[in-house]
């Protein structure tokens, strides 16, 4: 089960907010769709990112996929463990498989994102 304080983007990324910081990753649905993840191009620390823009690329045995940031802000930290072991995303998409932490620029952007039940409905619709 996914934690309640996570918001979802239609490009299958999530953000978990704690104060002015947001931890970003890809959803379980996304990692499952991609299959075995073999590489991730991590974003750089200290760069500013815009909501709805690409922050990273993930390569799997099936495809290369863009990671779209659900929020705007400055990247404070990236998950270096993924450089050596990108498969952590497959194993724990909402925990150890996080990609980056950003300093949130605009908390009102969170209102444009989906909660868990909205995201589940969205995924069901997309699967049809």
pLDDT at 94: 95
Q: What is the token pair recorded at 2? A: 């996914």
Q: What is the token pair recorded at 14? A: 């999530």
Distance CA 111, CA 128 (A): 26
Query: Angle 113-117-123 (CA atoms, 0-180°, nearest 5)?
Result: 80
pTM: predicted TM-score of the whole model, two decimal places: 0.95
Taking only the tens place, the pLDDT of each residue in 64-89 is: 999 999 999 999 999 999 999 999 99
Q: What is the mean pLDDT of residues 30-43?
A: 97
CA 43 to chain centre: 12
pLDDT at 27 over 50: yes
Residue 127 pLDDT class (50, 70, 90 cuts): confident
CA dist list (Å): 65 to 1, 20, 38, 44, 118: 24, 28, 12, 18, 23
**Domains of the chain, first to last:** 6-127 (2.40.50.100)
Collapsing DSSP states into helix, strand and coil, what is residue 123?
A: helix
Query: What is the residue whose two structure tokens read 């979802």?
Result: 8
pLDDT at 3 over 70: no
């Amino acid at each position: 089960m996914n934690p309640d304080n996570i918001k979802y983007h239609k490009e299958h990324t999530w953000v978990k907010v704690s104060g002015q910081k947001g931890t970003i990753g890809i959803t379980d649905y996304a990692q499952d769709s991609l299959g075995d993840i073999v590489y991730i191009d991590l974003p750089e620390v200290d760069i500013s990112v815009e909501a709805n823009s690409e922050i990273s690329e993930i390569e799997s045995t099936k495809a290369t996929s863009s990671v779209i940031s659900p929020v705007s802000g400055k990247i404070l930290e990236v998950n270096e463990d993924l450089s050596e072991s990108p498969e952590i995303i497959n194993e724990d998409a909402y925990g150890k498989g996080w990609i980056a932490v950003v300093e949130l620029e605009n908390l009102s952007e969170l209102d444009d994102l989906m909660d868990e039940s909205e995201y589940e409905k969205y995924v069901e619709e997309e699967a049809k």
